[in-house]
């Protein structure tokens, strides 16, 4: 029965018109071979060890994390450089991006809410900053790199071996002009929208961009959010005026897109604020680079007129706390007060005189669909002497309603549950 099910899944997935068709020519590179369902001869990578001194040290640090009454936090998995996460809807397999060259797959086979296996995903593919991972509703995994987008049909069922079916959505150099590639603000994030399109945030590489870049960036969507069909066609710029968003999600209640935004550095410890924003309609602009965050004008653009119709943030966050991954909580495990609200991760400041951040925030959403005041949900990764025990990056939800938190400094994923469930 299991073989029949997997065969059916593969037939449906690979017959879909949204995937590239195998080439009629003999494949040369690994990606071409994978898109033609041919083996690359890549060896199976060794799993990442899940126990030992490192795991013990992380568990010890987790004893310092402060949570609301009734909640607890545990080590879920050791995952090197863990960044953004995508949880499969069928088996709860977790795919984890990094800012390096690997994507990892995390499996909890016995469903005891602790990972049994962590290993490299698709080791036959050479990734470059594969930070952004997201699933379509029909089980296609998207991996958004610095300047390329790949899709992996039925990844949750066919991740076991080193070779998996893979197709190119946006080939290398097509996501942004190659001349605009940078080591700065290059960690992409993605989501599949209610319209079934692929949304991608494109951070711009400067602290504040020079004026001669503005026309190009607006046209391409750098410093904004773009969307396209799942096969890469019909690309368009969805929102602009964004400095560097590394977290976004759709509100299931009204289908609006929300995103975090990291604001301008070098303006002092206490300004400008970080942002949590809401996109109500395509074409809206959110104030950068005229504003460095909130209503704080940048030095570089202080004499330039602010474009008409700029949308202000739904909520302002502490300056330089580095708000990254976010999600709407749709589970049932947590108390009613958290259901429908927003969990977000603060990576922590890097240049503030007194460090701030390294915590999980919760922002309630009011009846009218707007944000209420953000509040600290989990903290303790930043010690009183300014040392980081960890730096949260992203949040995701397991099928049971518990919350996963990734940490690229500790190289781990944590699980937050309520009342021991």
Output the pLDDT for position 419. 87
Output the pLDDT for position 19. 59
Please say whether the beta carbons of 222 and 176 come within 8 A.
Answer: yes
Output the average pLDDT for the chain.
Answer: 93
Give the contacts of 137 (CB within 8 A, at least 6 positions apart): 89, 192, 196
Other C-beta atoms closer than 10 Å to the C-beta of 251 total 17
Output the pLDDT for position 91. 83
Helices (H), 45-153: 53-62
Helix (H), strand (E) at residue 283: none
Give the contacts of 108 (CB within 8 A, at least 6 positions apart): 92, 114, 115, 116
Gap between the Cα atoms of 182 and 226, Å rounded: 19
pLDDT in tens, 238-258: 999 999 999 999 999 999 999
Output the pLDDT for position 90. 84
CA distances from 251 to 34, 326, 327 (A): 35, 11, 9
Q: Which domains occur in the chain, in start order?
A: 33-418 (2.120.10.30)
Output the pLDDT for position 5. 37
Statement: residue 151 has pLDDT above 90: yes
DSSP letters for 326-395: EEE---SSS-GGGTT-EEEEE---SS-SS----EEEEE-B-TTS-B---EEEEE-SB-TTS-BS--EEEE
Gap between the Cα atoms of 398 and 331, Å rounded: 9
The pLDDT-based confidence of 27 (bands split at 50, 70, 90) is: low
Output the pLDDT for position 420. 53
Gap between the Cα atoms of 415 and 421, Å rounded: 11
Output the pLDDT for position 158. 87
Please list, residue by residue across 351-373, b when 16 or more beta carbons sit within 10 angstroms of its beta carbon and e when fewer do. ebeebbbbbbbbbebeeeeebee
- Which of 352-356, 392-396, 402-406, 417-421 is predicted with the least confidence, judged by mean pLDDT? 417-421
Q: What count of residues does the chain have? A: 421
**Residue that is written with structure tokens 């088996």 in the block:** 91
Please say whether the beta carbons of 401 and 394 come within 8 A.
Answer: no
Query: What percentage of the chain reaches a pLDDT higher than 90?
Result: 89
Instruction: With H, G, I as helix, E, B as strand and everything else as coil, classify residue 30.
Output: helix
The average pLDDT across 30-36 equals: 91
Pairing mode, strands 248-250 and 257-261 = antiparallel
Which of these, 328, 311, 301, 206, lies nearest to 262 by C-alpha position? 206
Helix (H), strand (E) at residue 169: strand 167-170
Instruction: With H, G, I as helix, E, B as strand and everything else as coil, classify residue 88.
Output: coil
Residue 96 CA neighbour count, 13 Å, CB half: 33
Output the pLDDT for position 26. 55
Instruction: With H, G, I as helix, E, B as strand and everything else as coil, classify residue 150.
Output: strand
pLDDT in tens, 282-332: 999 999 999 999 999 999 999 999 999 999 999 999 999 999 999 999 999
Give the contacts of 373 (CB within 8 A, at least 6 positions apart): 315, 363, 364
Which of these, 169, 166, 79, lies nearest to 125 by C-alpha position? 166
Instruction: With H, G, I as helix, E, B as strand and everything else as coil, classify residue 186.
Output: coil
Please say whether the beta carbons of 101 and 88 come within 8 A.
Answer: no
The average pLDDT across 114-130 equals: 96
pLDDT in tens, 325-335: 999 999 999 99
Statement: residue 236 has pLDDT above 50: yes
Output the pLDDT for position 395. 98
- The two tokens of residue 409 are 């400094």
Q: State whether the Cα torsion 238-240-245-250 is positive or negative.
A: negative
- Most distant pair of Cα atoms in the chain: their distance: 68
């Amino acid at each position: 029965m299991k073989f029949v099910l997997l065969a059916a899944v593969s037939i449906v997935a690979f017959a879909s018109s949204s995937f590239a068709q195998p080439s009629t020519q003999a494949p040369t590179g690994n990606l071409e071979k994978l898109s033609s369902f041919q083996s690359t001869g890549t060896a199976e990578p060794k799993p990442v060890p899940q126990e030992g001194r490192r795991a013990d040290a992380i568990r010890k640090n987790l004893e310092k994390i402060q949570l609301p009454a009734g909640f607890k936090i545990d080590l879920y998995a050791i995952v090197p450089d863990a960044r953004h996460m995508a949880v499969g809807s069928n088996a709860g397999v977790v795919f984890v991006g990094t800012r390096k060259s690997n994507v990892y797959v995390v499996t909890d086979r016995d469903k005891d809410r602790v990972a049994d296996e962590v290993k490299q995903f698709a080791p036959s593919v050479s990734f470059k900053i594969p930070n952004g991972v997201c699933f379509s509703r029909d089980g296609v995994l998207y991996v958004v790199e610095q300047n390329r987008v790949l899709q992996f049909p039925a990844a949750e069922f066919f991740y076991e071996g080193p070779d998996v079916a893979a197709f190119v959505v946006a080939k290398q150099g097509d996501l942004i002009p190659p001349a605009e590639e940078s080591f700065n603000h290059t960690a992409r994030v993605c989501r599949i929208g209610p319209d079934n399109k692929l949304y991608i945030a494109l951070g711009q590489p400067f602290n504040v961009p020079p004026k001669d870049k503005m026309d190009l960036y607006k046209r391409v969507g750098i410093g904004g959010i773009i969307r396209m069909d799942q096969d890469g066609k019909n690309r368009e710029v969805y929102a602009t005026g964004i400095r560097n968003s590394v977290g976004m999600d759709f509100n299931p209640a009204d289908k609006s897109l929300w995103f975090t935004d990291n604001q301008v550095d070098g303006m002092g410890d206490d300004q400008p604020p970080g942002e949590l924003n809401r996109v109500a309609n395509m074409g809206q602009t959110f104030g950068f680079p005229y504003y460095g965050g909130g209503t704080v004008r940048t030095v570089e653009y202080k004499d330039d007129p602010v474009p008409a119709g700029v949308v202000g943030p739904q909520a302002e966050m502490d300056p330089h706390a580095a708000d990254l991954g976010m999600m709407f909580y749709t589970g049932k495990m947590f108390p009613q007060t958290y259901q429908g609200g927003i969990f977000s991760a603060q990576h922590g400041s890097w240049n503030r005189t007194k460090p701030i951040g390294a915590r999980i925030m919760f922002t309630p959403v009011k009846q009218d669909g707007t944000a209420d005041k953000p509040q600290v949900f989990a903290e303790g990764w930043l010690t009183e002497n300014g040392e980081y025990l960890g730096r949260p990056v992203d949040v995701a939800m397991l099928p049971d309603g518990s919350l996963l938190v990734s940490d690229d400094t500790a190289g781990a994923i944590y699980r937050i549950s309520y009342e021991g469930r």
